[in-house]
Amino acid sequence: MILILNGPNLNLLGVREPGIYGSRGMESYLDELRRRYPDIEIEYYQSNHEGALIDKLHEVGFREDCQGIVFNAGAYTHTSLALADAISAIPTPVVEVHISNVHSREEIRHRSMISAVCRGVIAGFGLDSYRLAIEALR
C-alpha cells in the first residue's frame, strides 16, 4: 500500500489557480493512477489541518503493509516543524512532492521544513509528480 497525502488547499485541485496547478481534479487523477498500478493499493487522504496530517502520518507510518507515503504538504511544507518531526518519527519512507516547481516561484517557497527528513523530493512536473514519487517507492 502507498498513501498519497495532500495538505491544505489541495482539495481545490482543478479549481484553484489552474495556471499553476492545472485544471484536473485529484479524484480523476487517482482513478488513472489506480488503473496504471493495479498491483499497488493506493490510499488517499487530504486535510487542511496540520494536526490531522500529523495524525495520519502516525497512523499509517507504522503499518507494515505501507511501503511509502507520497506527501504534498502544500504551504505547510514551508512552515511546519511539527510535520518534519512527525516524518522523523515514523519508519515508513516519505517522498515530498510538489505540483509546481517551488524553486521558480516566490522565495518563501524555496525553503522546505520537511525535505531533510524525506527520502527525496519531486517538484515541478504537474500531477505527474505524484506518479514519479510512486515510481521511487515501488
108's grid cell = 518563501
Q: What is the rounded CA–CA span in Å between residue 27 and residue 123?
A: 20
Residues 11-70 that bind ligand DQA (CB under 6 A): none
Least separation in angstroms between CB 90 and ligand DQA = 20
44's grid cell = 488517499
* 4 makes contact with ligand DQA (CB under 6 A): no
Contact with ligand DQA (CB under 6 A): which of 86, 98, 118, 130? 98
Among 32-40, 45-53, 72-80, 81-89, which window interacts with ligand DQA (CB under 6 A)? 72-80
Residue 56 host element (H or E): helix 50-60
Q: Is 49 a catalytic residue?
A: no
Q: What is the rounded CA–CA span in Å between residue 43 and residue 123?
A: 21
Beta bridge mates, 83 = none
Supply the residues annotated as catalytic: 21, 98
Q: Which residues bind ligand DQA (CB under 6 A)?
A: 9, 72, 74-75, 77, 98-100, 102, 109
